[in-house]
Amino acid sequence: MMRPFPVLASIPLLFALGACATEAPTQARFDEGTAAYDAGDYGKAYRIFRELADDDDIAALRNVALMERKGQGTDKDPQAAIDDYLEAARAGLPTAQADLGEMYLDGEAGPPDPKAALPWLQSAAAANHPIAQYHLGQLYEQGEVVPKDMKMAEQLYAAAAAHGVQAAVARLSELKGFPAPGTPESPSGASAKPSAPAHPDH
């Protein structure tokens, strides 16, 4: 079952929000998995998310993939993570699409494959996922799997920076010829940080 979800960076656990009343038991179970994860009880969290994923909960499946990717509560298995991310990504979950694209880019289950990453990053970026926007900006700047387009790259970096992706903030500053945020030469100094909630820079 699909559930509303926030736009997050690729690594944090996906939290389910706003399940309707008929989904209350599933929501409660999902929350139990989230609490276990936050408490560091990864084995329990993995079992709960796996159970929910087997019942077609796509948000839970994305969390299963995350834990397989990191080896939390289960053996580290990049290929299994990709397989589960792929299922969730095909179901339209932007966070899974971004994670999958990042795994392809980084070559976590084989050689780096930016061509395979591209469509997933495009889909997630279109849904305003900031990490996907940052990585897609890199691809447009590099011009290897898409035609080089610095204007598009800057637009994507700006969108990611507005959501607190610090790597995007830094790269955009470099491209614009501004001092990197936080340096003495930066007009705003250490406070040069987007007002939107910050995301981890992974």
In a domain, residue 31? The reply is: yes
More confident residue, 191 or 113: 113
Name the least confident of 18-32, 91-105, 140-154.
Answer: 18-32
pTM of the model: 0.79
Answer yes or no: is pLDDT of 199 > 90. Answer: no
Helix then strand then coil, % of the chain, to nearest 5: 60, 0, 40
Residue with tokens 């989904």: 23
Write out the residue range of the structural domain in which residue 62 sits. Answer: 1-93
- Number of helices (H) and strands (E) in the chain: give both, helices first: 9, 0
Q: Structural domain tally of the chain?
A: 1
Contact 156, 191 (CB under 8 A): no
In a domain, residue 183? The reply is: no
In a domain, residue 100? The reply is: no
In a domain, residue 107? The reply is: no
In a domain, residue 47? The reply is: yes
Answer yes or no: is pLDDT of 187 > 80. Answer: no
Number of Cβ within a 10 Å radius of residue 51? 14
In a domain, residue 196? The reply is: no
Express each pLDDT in 13-53 by its tens digit.
665 433 333 367 889 999 999 999 999 999 999 999 999 99
In a domain, residue 140? The reply is: no
In a domain, residue 58? The reply is: yes
